[in-house]
Each structure stands twice: as C-alpha cells, then as structure tokens.
Structure 1
Amino acid sequence: MRRFTEKDFQTRERAEKVLLDVLNPLKPYYSESCARLYVGNTSTHYENDTIPMESFARPL
C-alpha cells in the first residue's frame, strides 16, 4: 500500500479514493452480511464472536 500525503485529503473525492484504497483489499474477508471481517488470527484476546467485529472496526 502506498503512503498517503496531505494532498490526498484536500478534496472529498481524493479522501474517498484513499478510503476505498484502504477498504477494497479487505472485501474478500467480509462476512456474507458484511457486518464482520475475518482476517485470520490476531494478537488480541477476545471471544471468538468479538474478533470479527473488532476487525471490522479497525479500518474505520
């Protein structure tokens, strides 16, 4: 992933592109309802039902 600069956030359109650049690679890992994100084992210690929800919130 490329580094983002201040220029990338000067307009709404540029900021939207940055957001999509970050989120689009995660699409294959979303649950069927798109409410959870399964990215594999993480180093956090949560209950199994909590991990996908926490993973979903991190990119936000």
Structure 2
Amino acid sequence: MTITEAGDMLPESKFIRVHRSYIVAKDKIDKIECHQVCIKGNEVPVDASYMQLLQGV
C-alpha cells in the first residue's frame, strides 16, 4: 500500500499530509515551525508544497 492509498483511507478532518513520506494527526500537532511540525517533541519535516495546507490547522 502506498502512502497515498493509506491517506485516502483516513478522514481528512483528522489527518493531514505534510510530506511525501508523512501523514500526521491534526490534533497531535503541538507547534508548526519553519518547514516542520512538532509532535510530542518529535520534529516531522514539512515539504514546501504542503505548507499551504497547514495554514488552516
């Protein structure tokens, strides 16, 4: 299964793709920084093409 297929199975209201390799739960995001999101002290990279999607989170 590809990440796109996995993402299609998740509810858009609760999850967001932030990188070609990462999908994160919106309610778990602690902080959005320059090209990364922080979740419980872990930094997840955010691709520039997905930054605009994060603005509404």
TM-score by length of 1: 0.23
Please identify the structure whose Cα radius of gyration is greater. Answer: 1
TM-score by length of 2: 0.23
Higher helix share: 1
Higher relative contact order (CA 8 A, sep 6+): 2
Higher strand share: 2
